[in-house]
Amino acid sequence: MSAVPASPTSSAGRPPSGGPSRGRPSGAPTGARPAPALPPRPSRIGPTLAALAAGAVVLLAVADLDIAWGSLGEIPGRVATYLGLLFAEPNWEKLPRALFETWRSVSMAWLGALGCVALSIPLGILAAHGVGPAWVRYPLRGLFAVIRAVPEVVIALILLTVTGLTPFTGALALAIAGIGTQGKWVYETVESVQEGASEAVRAAGGSTAEVARWALWPAAAPSLLSFALYRFEINIRTSAVLGLIGAGGIGTMLSNYTNYREWDTVGMLLIVVVAITMLIDLVSGDLRRRIMEGARPRAVDRTP
């Protein structure tokens, strides 16, 4: 009789060391990792508390205003009544004087913008990182922040004790108040300029003034001129407000006729202010677009 072949298993019934292990499919990878655990859900306690605090501040502010809630429904009717008094029959007899006072307001705004730009551009360039030293840069930035914190009306009220009730007071207040914002725009614009030209001028032995003149100014000039025109637009609106405190211009005329309740003249003055402001905004906006983008290309007629 032939001998029966031996079983591949050992006497203990274990498979050989090279065979598949018990309980694992033959096709399963041997290095499989467990699935990563999901991150914990973010806590909503902080945002909820912040929202509750903001809501409490709003409620306290509204409660402190002493609002007559019962009369809120009468406001639309009152607004319609005063709009009729203002614009139903405007008094155009005072139009020549209104145009003259508007011209004074525009002159005040223009002089304020020129003074602001003339001071803020060199100071703003010195406040830019990489131009002025730290002992000059940080005090200038602090000065800009302090000026921005004081409204134009407050500056004009302080200047009234020195210069008196004249349009020059308004122009000076606009010039001083604009330095804070304009100076910030200047140093932020200069810091955004590419450093290649500045490094080239410094490598050629240029001083800080030469770097500002030949590297920074040509690159930043379009944006700075655009900001200067925008400053003029802001001054046009602010000059009317300064006139309410006696600085001259169309604002003073508006204040006087409002106090005497001559609503037909006030309506005419408002029409003049809105029309002149929109016209100046239109012209200034077109100039700013040409500065930033250049002139529009014109179509050439090639027909023989």
Q: pLDDT value at position 11?
A: 46
Mean pLDDT within 7-21: 48
Per-residue pLDDT tens over the stretch 115-151: 999 999 889 888 888 787 889 889 999 999 999 998 8
62, pLDDT greater than 70: yes
pLDDT: which is higher, 241 or 103: 103
pLDDT: which is higher, 214 or 226: 226
Q: pLDDT value at position 27?
A: 53
d(CA 197, CA 40): 50
pLDDT band at 239 (very low <50, low <70, confident <90, very high): confident
Percent of the chain with pLDDT over 70: 84
Q: pLDDT value at position 247?
A: 75
Work out the number of other CB atoms within 10 angstroms of the CB of residue 255: 16
Rounded to 10 degrees, the C-alpha dihedral 152/153/155/157 comes to 160
State the CATH class of domain 87-293: mainly alpha
Q: pLDDT value at position 207?
A: 73
76, pLDDT greater than 70: yes
d(CA 12, CA 153): 101
Q: pLDDT value at position 141?
A: 93
Per-residue pLDDT tens over the stretch 24-34: 555 555 556 77
Mean pLDDT within 175-187: 91
Judge whether 170 and 243 are in contact, CB under 8 Å: yes
Nearest to 167 by CA among 275, 254, 250, 274: 250
pLDDT band at 8 (very low <50, low <70, confident <90, very high): very low
Q: pLDDT value at position 83?
A: 86
In single-letter form, the type of residue at position 45 comes to I
pLDDT: which is higher, 5 or 122: 122
Judge whether 170 and 153 are in contact, CB under 8 Å: no
Residue tagged 């002139």 (tokens): 295
Q: pLDDT value at position 1?
A: 44
Residue tagged 């005040």 (tokens): 108
SS (H, E, C) the chain: CCCCCCCCCCCCCCCCCCCCCCCCCCCCCCCCCCCCCCCCCCCCHHHHHHHHHHHHHHHHHHHHCCCCHHHHHHHHHHHHHHHHHHHCCCCHHHHHHHHHHHHHHHHHHHHHHHHHHHHHHHHHHHCCCCCCCHHHHHHHHHHHHHHHHCCHHHHHHHHHHHHCCCHHHHHHHHHHHHHHHHHHHHHHHHHCCCCHHHHHHHHCCCCHHHHHHHHHHHHHHHHHHHHHHHHHHHHHHHHHHHHCCCCCCHHHHHHHHHHCCCHHHHHHHHHHHHHHHHHHHHHHHHHHHHHHHCCCCCCCCCCC
pLDDT band at 2 (very low <50, low <70, confident <90, very high): very low
Judge whether 121 and 189 are in contact, CB under 8 Å: no
Nearest to 222 by CA among 184, 185, 196, 277: 185
Domain chopping of the chain, boundaries: 87-293
Mean pLDDT within 197-224: 76
For the entire predicted model, the pTM comes to: 0.70
Cα 66 to Cα 76, 78, 155, 177, 257, distances in angstroms? 20, 20, 30, 33, 29
Q: pLDDT value at position 138?
A: 92
